[in-house]
Amino acid sequence: MNVSSPSPDSPSLGEKRRFWIGVLISLICLGFLAYFTDWEQFWRALQLADYGRIGLAILLSIVWLAVRGLVWRTLLQERASFWLVFRAVNQGYLLNNLLPFRLGELGRAFLLSRKAQMRLFFVLSTIVLERTFDLLMAIVLLFSTLPFVVGVEWARQASVGVAIFVLFMIGGLYVIARYPNFVLRLLNFFQKRFAFLNRFGHTALEAFLQGLSTLTDWRRFLLVSSFVILNWGVGILQYHLFISAFFPQAQLLWSIFSLGVISLGVAAPSSPASVGVVEMAAVGALSAFGLDPSTALAFAVTAHLSQVLITGIIGALALAQDGESLLNLYRQTRIAQRDREASPG
């Protein structure tokens, strides 16, 4: 009897498990929000919101995406045009918002590597570096504001510890980028002793390390760092406009702290678009300042929905111009992911 082999783009058992865990976490967050929200106050907050500020925040989201494109293009060492990079950024967000398994990062890497004729692993390494900068910035925002939020000594000590951690992370990446041959020899050494490491090929690792070379060029590193800081500065201003639309007395501290909490919160497993998780993180962050959670939820839903719509519209237009469909791109991305995991070179 012939047993048909699974489709190369079908999810594995582990991926299915991670997907359903993410869905469960989103459902739990939505359940808590639904139970504790005063829906009458929620709708009143939406009615009384300052939509002029919301409109400005939405315009700033386009500026934020443009600066995001500058960050990634600089990490790519200007090997692709800004327009291609900007399109790929939004296509990636669209994929993350609609498809499971957080395929947006691999999807935008796949699309850009094909359009700009770059190696996939090189592009992926720049995304890893981009996300590392994001993680470090989110940690800095959270722990730099935490002492002002809770006002206890341990928070100040934690902030110092986080600063050391950030420096350690950057230093570790610099060492890896500075001595790529040593990393390759180290991989070869361990491959001889652990067979499962043979799946990580030298060709792929060389392309990956090439993407990290930005850290060894101090001029480019400073340029990337400047764009990253600008990107997060625009993000803080955007969040402040959203929050002040619902809380006219909003302080900048609220925006910085909540952005740090939300940015770390979306790292948790969840359904596509981090539905529920973003809202839960935002309500929790603003509740630390004694703000009404129902009004905070109105802010969170408005800000999250605006981001999904803006990136979705731009991403969908870019996909249409490329002649791509979501289903076809999902299949191609899944196949690329399987090839990347299985290929020894």
More confident residue, 233 or 136: 233
* Tokens standing for residue 16: 């299915």
Q: How far is CA 5 from CA 8, 122, 166, in A?
A: 9, 31, 46
* Region 236-252 average pLDDT: 96
Q: Are 343 and 201 in contact (CB under 8 A)?
A: yes
Q: Nearest-CA neighbor of 307 among 137, 1, 64, 61?
A: 61
More confident residue, 300 or 343: 300
Winning range, highest mean pLDDT, from 71-75, 147-151, 319-323: 71-75
Helix (H) or strand (E) holding 211: helix 202-211
* Region 309-314 average pLDDT: 94
Evaluate the CA torsion angle 200, 202, 207, 211 in order and state its sign: positive
Whether 250 has a pLDDT exceeding 90, the answer reads: yes
pLDDT tens for 57-70 read 999 999 999 999 99
| Chain CA centroid to CA 285, Å | 19
* Tokens standing for residue 115: 């359009």
CA–CA separation, 180 and 184 (whole Å):
6
* Tokens standing for residue 69: 């494109």
pLDDT for 345:
45
* Region 290-318 average pLDDT: 95
CA–CA separation, 247 and 249 (whole Å):
5
